[in-house]
Amino acid sequence: MSSVTELLHTKYPLVQAPMNWATDARFVAAVANAGLSEMVHGSAAHERQLQAQLDQVRTLTDQPIGINVVLEPDPAPHMNSTLEVAFANGLRYFAVVGEPDQAVYRRIKDHGGVILARPLTPTVANAKAAEAYGTDILVATGYDEGGILPQHFQGTFTVVPTMADAVSIPVLAAGGINDARGG
């Protein structure tokens, strides 16, 4: 099993999740320059906006960055254009949000991508499916996280050990971590 820092080529095993438009090029570059993995918010952008953000990020850092991809129902034109821009820019790190999708994971892997899978509501079944489809890192979230909330009412520190016991890949905790005393 590889460590998170080896998989993401970062100094620290931390990932700053995209936060809609708060995650602009300056924010992405600052986080990447600090030695953490940073994800560009690709799922809410049009191709030209996304390309402009990536171009600006590249003027501010030479560190690895990734992109957030929200899995959408078929035909998913927005997700497909996000992936195409990411592939054209040589991005290798993909935070994929939603139920594991073997076809999407295969497309990312075919482009040499590293997948950080974040099922919206983590379960043992979707964790195992994500791992089987090629996920490199699983992101386990509880109801106390920000963004799109899981459908269960379990906290992060209940979900993380369940997911870690279910898979043999690294598991990152997301949400509910406020200071050193809490985790």
- For 72-107, the pLDDT digits (tens) are 766 577 788 889 999 999 999 999 988 999 999 999
- For 128-140, the pLDDT digits (tens) are 999 999 999 999 8
| pTM metric for this prediction | 0.87
**Structural fold of domain 4-123:** TIM Barrel (3.20.20)
The token pair that represents 159 in the structure block:
């979900």
d(CA 89, CA 107): 15
Q: In what order do the strands lie in the sheet with 137-141?
A: 15-16, 37-41, 66-70, 93-97, 114-118, 137-141, 171-174
Instruction: Classify residue 181 by its DSSP letter.
Output: G
